[in-house]
Amino acid sequence: MFTAIAPRYDLLNHVLSCNVDRIWWARAARAFAGILQNPAAQVLDLCCGTGDMAFALAARRPSGGAAVRGVDFSHAMLLRARRKSADRRMNWIEADALNLPFPDASFDLVTSAFGFRNLADYDAGLREIARVLRPGGEVGLLDFGMPGGAAGHLYRLYFSRVLPLLGTLVSGVRGPYRYLPASVQRFPATPEMLERMRHAGFMEPSWTPYTLGIAGLFRAKRSPMNTTI
């Protein structure tokens, strides 16, 4: 599915979000400015797709700092990320987010933008993130939400009816943009997701809504000790 939509993935992200996705990536990166400004900090972006979240993180790295690493299991997506980063210092790795090829406690920051939702097992994904994070390291998961009120009603209408039709028309591929609203609907509600993060060994989990709650950032710190059950 991701291979099929890779050629027009960036275009569709911008069109379907009215370019607000760029603001979301930048805002999420800004939330971790303290870590990113440390030149020695090791940073990983999971389910990186064509790299836009990784680029937002890299934009806040000091000159000469350690390269941001992006991981995705879609070869086609990573090819596009590599082409986009031809003049930037990045590190792209083809791997499964549930079985990362890194030792324990390798990173100071792990992020994922609109990708964690696609994992087959959310709890296993959180445990794997906790495994590769150093004690006190941070995780940031940027993903869709469901706003309430009148705005929420209009958004759900757009998300479930208009977006799949427009996505199919622009991409020329049936299926993936019907999967998108379905994947958001099956994603845990905010209180449940925060509890899953605690259970996986994270402290101080929080959710910060963006753009009336259409998207938002789950954020937490890795516990100093392994507290997973």
Chain mean pLDDT for the chain = 89
**Predicted TM-score of the model (pTM):** 0.89
Nearest to 28 by CA among 109, 122, 148, 132: 109
Strands 215-222 and 133-144: antiparallel
CATH of 19-146+189-222, one of 3.40.50.720, 3.30.70.640, 3.40.50.150, 2.130.10.10: 3.40.50.150
181 backbone dihedrals φ, ψ, rounded to 5°: -65, -30
Strand partners, 118: none
Structure confidence by residue, pLDDT tens digits, 59-106 = 999 998 999 999 999 999 999 999 999 878 899 999 999 999 999 999
Structure confidence by residue, pLDDT tens digits, 169-215 = 767 777 666 767 777 788 999 999 999 999 999 999 999 999 988 89
Strand partners, 142: 113, 217
Residue 229: pLDDT band with limits 50, 70, 90: very low
